[in-house]
Every structure is written in C-alpha cells, then in structure tokens.
Copies of this chain bind each other. A is one copy, B any other.
C-alpha cells in the first residue's frame, strides 16, 4: 500500500496528506464523540481533478474511501470505522464560490464551502440562500448535499434536495459526472442528482453544486411563545399559517428541559418570559423590505393564540439583538445538551396529526426502561420532525449508555408503528444503518442495494454507512 500513499501524495501534493495518528485525530472522531475510528490516511484534495485522482487510485487499489465535509454529522456518516483500512477524503480545501447570479437566482459552489459562507455570498448579492442549521458555521455545503440536510427553513423552502439545480460528482472509479445545470426544468432522464443528494457519500463524492437563491427577506417578526402542549403547538401552527401565509418562515418547538439546559450552559442566555412553561415555540415571519405587515400579522397570531388557549405568554423581539438572543435559545440546545453529559439522539418524523399523542406517549415508556431519563425535546414541529434526545438521569451517564439500545428501540418501534421515519434529516450514517434497514421492507432494502451495486460495484464508497454491511 506504499504505492497507494505515493499515488495519493502525487495527486494532492505532499502537504495535503496526513498519515500520522495525531494529525488524523480530528478527522476520525465525529462531533458526538460516539464514533472514534481509524484511517490509513487523510487526503485533502484542492480541486475536482484531485478528487478524481484520489478516487481512481483508491479504486485501483481496492481501498475504501470515506468522504468528509465539516465533520458535523450526528450519525457517524463522515468518519471511518475502526479497521484503519479506509482513506478519509476531506473536501475542506475546496472552498471556492464559483459564481453568484442574482438575476438567474443561482449560486455555484465547491463542495467544501462552509454553509454560512454560502449564506453570506447570497446576502451580498441581495438574495437569500435559505438553508440554516445549528452547525452552519462549520458544516460544508457538500455535507449538506450528501445528507439532504434539513434545518429551520424547511417549512418554507424545503429540504436541501429542493434547493439543488445541478451537481458535479466524482464517481467511485474516478470519472467525473458534470451535471452542473442551472435549470428549473429538465426532464431528460433519471434524476441522477436526486440519487446523489442524501446518499451519504456511498455512491460518489459531490464536488460542486448549482443551488437556488431566493428573494432576500431582510424584515423579520419573531416571537418566543409559551405553549401548554405539543398539541397546542400543532394548532398554533395552523393559526400562524392562516395569518401569515407564505411569510411564515420558522416554527420551532422546544420543551422546558431543553431551555433549562441552555440557561444552565450557554453564557449570557436568559429566560425571556417570567413564568416557566412546559413547551415553547419560536415563530418567525420573514419578508421583503416592502413587506410592512409582518409585525401586525405576528400580533394577530399571538392574540388569536392567547384567545384560543394555544399560548400563555410570548416575548416579541423588538430589535435585531433581541431576535438573535431568541434564536440563540433554540440554536444552543444541541451544544448545551452536550455540555450536560451523555446524550442519546433521535431525529424522528411523524405525521403532524399524531405528533402530539406520540410525544406524550413516549415519556412513560422510556421511564420504564430507564427511570429518571430526561427527554430533551425540540425540533421542527412544522415538518412533523422532533429531535427527541435523551439526557442521562442526573449522575447516570453510564446507565444511559447501557440502556441506549433498548431506549432507541422503544422509540423507533413506536415511530414505525405510527408510520413515521427514524431519520428525518440526519441520515442513517453508521449509527442507524442497521436500524434503517430493519424497519424497511425486504423489497425496499433490495432496491437500495441494487442502486448501490450499480453505482459502486466494488463497494468502496463509505462502506457500512446508510446500508449495513452484508453477512
């Protein structure tokens, strides 16, 4: 395998290949700390051609490749297993924004551009790139594409998939598919881009994309609303849609446990309301500079909500700074929960109509499996998507780890029975590859394996991710 390393060195340049354990450490452990693998090498190509050379070399040598963006994934999809046989291919050096076309409403990017940088480039052209998530300061657009990322703007703009017009992908054997179209409509064959989006690096490596831009929404009306229950939150969503229509941009939920963790661990966070509530909703309307009815519409939503018993109190942001601090309460949950201690993450969708009853049914079931377990629940209620995360009982991190499989199984069984999904937006990665397959029909798993075998016949792209290994 010295040959392979030499080839990789030639492909990316001496300074962009890491083989020392210490140098590789940041690339082989994921953000959650759950997945700590090993790699033969980490290569950091600087161009599509270099990615192609890396894949061709690994393909010839029969060596598995693990593509990696910002390494912010939550299901171990971007880090290698413990065998040490894989090459990690980091896209982090490919950071060029190739083009911004505000008239056509497109932005063309390298895969390694950080999501926040895509947002900023759009803003500088007086346009909006709507994708927004907690890790936007470090995740890369390539990772967002590979996982079909969700986030807080899905309600209005859809998942990552719906923001993609064209893709550039290096195939497992090193050939490059140039699918960089900038067209809204193109019915000339199978939708290959939709196959690569969400494939978690198991079919090829996305190196570039043409993405949609939208009219800028510089005006906002934002409130942090105390609601008595998930059921009330779902009803409030209807009220908000009725009053705000297409201006409704955000509708996020969090329970009191989630807020408590943020107040405890996030410097400067404070509860915007006087009385505690079991549940909260962050609601935001967004519009163009000329949309001067947003504040009135928000007021109408809140008045109607209080009248109907759907809300008990609300804090309306009176300035950009206040808006940021309300958002920080929502965006800080994941980080705060990490500081608190051991966490078991779940990212589920249910039909919105059954979301409330599902959420209230889970508490007692989990309490039976692990007394004292603390559900820290938040997420995108407008999409039927809850991050149903479990913090350990106080002082019981080891207990949580020991009960992890039983707790997750109880949750997934219940989600499956309710016709939901066990991964709304995080993907399956390594963590859920086996669970994902176990809740699917044999026909569906066969179809997925047929697609995988067709595009990656040697099984070298991110093996063990998305689909469990055979045998």
Known: A178-B441, A451-B451. A186 touches B423 (CB 8 A): yes
Chain A 156-168, CB-CB to B under 8 Å as 1, else 0, gives 0011011000000
Judge if A448 is at the interface, Cβ distance under 8 Å.
Answer: yes
A455 and B446 alpha carbons, distance in the complex (Å): 10
Chain A 129-165, CB-CB to B under 8 Å as 1, else 0, gives 0000000000000000001101000100011011000
Evaluate contact between A421 and B187: CB separation under 8 angstroms: yes
Evaluate contact between B104 and A352: CB separation under 8 angstroms: yes
Known: A184-B383, A353-B103. A440 touches B189 (CB 8 A): yes
Q: In A425-471, which residues have CB < 8 Å from any B CB?
A: 425-428, 432, 436, 439-441, 443-444, 447-448, 450-455, 466-467
Evaluate contact between B351 and A187: CB separation under 8 angstroms: no
- CB nearest to A452 among chain B residues: B190
Judge if A181 is at the interface, Cβ distance under 8 Å.
Answer: yes
* Chain B residues near A154 (CB-CB < 8 A): 184-185
Judge if A183 is at the interface, Cβ distance under 8 Å.
Answer: yes
Q: Which of B182, B380, B448, B455 contacts A189 (CB 8 A)?
A: B448
* Chain B residues near A108 (CB-CB < 8 A): none
- CB nearest to A247 among chain B residues: B246
A419 and B182 alpha carbons, distance in the complex (Å): 8
Q: Which of B176, B177, B425, B444 contacts A177 (CB 8 A)?
A: B444
Evaluate contact between B185 and A159: CB separation under 8 angstroms: yes
Evaluate contact between A190 and B448: CB separation under 8 angstroms: yes
Evaluate contact between A187 and B428: CB separation under 8 angstroms: yes
Known: A162-B158, A443-B175, A454-B454. A190 touches B181 (CB 8 A): no
Q: Which of B175, B191, B422 contacts A161 (CB 8 A)?
A: B191
Judge if A228 is at the interface, Cβ distance under 8 Å.
Answer: no
* Chain B residues near A451 (CB-CB < 8 A): 190, 192, 195, 451, 454-455
* Chain B residues near A37 (CB-CB < 8 A): none
Q: Which of B192, B197, B349, B426 contacts A444 (CB 8 A)?
A: B192
* Listed residue (A191, A242, A245) with the most chain B CB atoms within 10 angstroms of its CB: A191
Q: Which of B171, B195, B245, B421 contacts A190 (CB 8 A)?
A: B195
* Chain B residues near A453 (CB-CB < 8 A): 454
Q: Distance in Å from the Cβ of A319 to the closest Cβ of chain B?
A: 25
Q: In A321-359, which residues have CB < 8 Å from any B CB?
A: 349-353
19 further A-B contacts with Cβ under 8 Å, apart from A177-B443, A183-B424, A451-B451, are A103-B352, A175-B443, A181-B421, A183-B349, A185-B385, A185-B421, A186-B421, A186-B424, A187-B426, A188-B428, A188-B432, A189-B440, A189-B466, A189-B467, A190-B448, A191-B197, A194-B195, A245-B291, A246-B247
17 pairs, CB–CB < 8 Å, chain A vs chain B: A104-B351, A104-B353, A150-B185, A158-B162, A178-B441, A181-B419, A185-B349, A185-B425, A186-B424, A187-B427, A189-B198, A189-B467, A190-B195, A192-B448, A194-B194, A246-B247, A450-B454
Report which A residues bind B (CB closer than 8 A). Answer: 101, 103-104, 147-148, 150, 154, 158-159, 161-162, 171, 175-179, 181-192, 194-195, 197-199, 203, 215, 241-242, 245-247, 287-288, 290-291, 349-353, 380, 383-385, 419-428, 432, 436, 439-441, 443-444, 447-448, 450-455, 466-467
